Amino acid sequence: MKKSVWIALLFLVSLSVFAQETRPNIIFILTDDQRWDALGFAGNPIIQTPEMDRLAIGGTYFENAFVTTPICAASRASILTGLYERTHGYTFGQGNIKQTFMDQSYPAELRKEGYYTGFFGKFGVNYPGFSELFDEGEDYDRNGKFNDRRGYFFKTIGKDTVHLTRYTGQQAIDFIQNAPKEKPFMLSLSFSAPHAHDPASLQYFWSSEFDTMYQKVTVPDPIMATEADFLAQPEYVRKGENRTRWYWRFDTPEKYQHSVTGYYRMISEVDTEIGKIRKALDEKGLAENTVIILMGDNGYFLGERQLAGKWLMYEPSLRVPLIVFDPRKEGGIRNSAFALNIDVTATILDLAGAKVPKTWQGVSLNSPDLSKRKEFLTEHLWQTPIIPPSEALRTERWKYFRYINDPSHEELYDLSVDPLEKNNLADDPAFQTILQELRTRMEKKIAAYLKNR
């Protein structure tokens, strides 16, 4: 009898060890407002991101990664739940996200699968059950009580007040060092950087050791930033928050240089923390079984069309960096398929060997089905006077979008010859058939996602 008990115990222990050895640890890194080309590997000749570049070189870099909604709150809800904003219904001013969606969020599903979970940084979604969602974690963002550098400098390590990026990096290192050995872990890191600190006149803040970076650099003027490019926008865009924040950050050459180099410094600081995190994995002997996913939560205007912020349906607002580094696989892969923020959710479960809920609307980035996606819906549904809500259909060749409160204003771009989206073809008689076809296809997608609510 005793021998049978010992055999049973040894079997259970071996199963636990097997799970840890075969199921990878997963680290998901989300940056705030990092646009797709704010990355050395993407071809940016100025920004220095050696650690992010290393991940891309050794992993899979998704050349056409987009968000399904270009605003942080709704995009983060989509990443958590694997659902379109049209389906989960969450954005600013909507109260708490619905519990039914959070019950099938990726952290909830991973805990069911025996993963040890952690989250540090900007959660960005109103949800009273945060403390029960993860095994350990802390939700924090820029401190809006301060209209100066203290918005980013209010957390401490020991007796030292440090930048939020350094604080988040240290939380990650501590988590890795103390995670239980008998379980694989899933760690979500949500950096507030490089988001500007909106209440502050200087907008961008970084640690002092990054002061000398980009000091001798003159950033080229933004493309498509003429008065004509600005005046081509509807009045509600010209008078909206995209223009207001342009005055905060880019309306003089001096502000533009300060803001863009500050934005780059903040990304480089995140990059440095990624290097420290990878070193901690090496020292713990976990590097060869830890998958790292890196993504931005939405795109960002750096003065294009004399605008700032995100929210609109143009490429700078929608495109984001996306890298999956899996040390168990051959790297150096560039994937040109459309990859979406809602795909990250399915990818995390796929990596864990878990079943993806049927209600989720994304696909794993490792799935051959990804290459079958030839178009996608993207939308910004927040009804606020300062930002016009809009919706778009993006195909491999075309971009069609309209403003929800002004559906008569439509825009159509042939991206194969006009990647900057300069020539709106919506009123051109030669393109009315394609305009109507894209409008119909978009409305069918909208109806399908509404049915899933």
What is the pTM assigned to this prediction? 0.94
Cβ–Cβ under 8 Å, residues 73 and 124: yes
Q: Which two tokens stand for residue 398?
A: 């075309």
Check pLDDT > 50 for residue 56. yes
- The rounded Cα 364 to chain-centroid distance in angstroms is 16
pLDDT at 31 over 80: yes
**pLDDT band per the 50, 70, 90 thresholds, residue 16:** very low
Overall average pLDDT of the 304-324 stretch? 98
Number of folded domains in the chain? 1
Determine the pLDDT at residue 450: 83
Q: Provide the domain limits for residue 74.
A: 25-374
Q: What distance in Å separates the CA atoms of residue 194 and residue 321, rounded to the nearest whole number?
A: 13
Establish if 360 belongs to a structural domain.
Answer: yes
Question: Does a structural domain hold residue 452?
Answer: no
pLDDT 10s digits, 155-199: 999 999 999 999 999 999 999 999 999 999 999 999 999 999 999
Q: Does the residue 198 lie in any domain? A: yes
Residue 94 resides in a domain: yes
| Residue 50 within a domain | yes
In a domain, 140, yes or no: yes
**How far apart, in whole angstroms, are the C-alpha atoms of residue 109 and residue 357?**
9
C-alpha dihedral sign at 147, 152, 153, 154: positive
Asked if residue 138 is part of any domain, the answer here is yes
Q: How far apart are CA 143 and CA 70, in angstroms?
A: 23
Q: Evaluate whether residue 415 is within a structural domain.
A: no
Helix, strand and coil percent figures for the chain, each rounded to 5: 40, 20, 40
Residue 319 DSSP code: B
What per-residue confidence (pLDDT) applies to 18?
Answer: 46
Rounded to a whole number of angstroms, the distance between the first and last alpha carbons of the chain is 54
Residue 431 CA to residue 428 CA, distance in Å, equals: 6
pLDDT tens digits along 371-416: 999 999 999 999 999 999 999 999 999 999 999 999 999 999 999 9
Mean pLDDT of the chain: 95
Q: How confident is the model at residue 4 (pLDDT cuts 50, 70, 90)?
A: low
Task: Out of 193-197, 208-212, 447-451, pick the least confident.
Answer: 447-451
Give the separation between CA 440 and CA 435, rounded to whole angstroms: 9
Q: Which CATH number belongs to the domain containing residue 351 in this structure?
A: 3.40.720.10
Residue of 393, 440, 388, 385 lying closest to 412 (CA atoms): 393
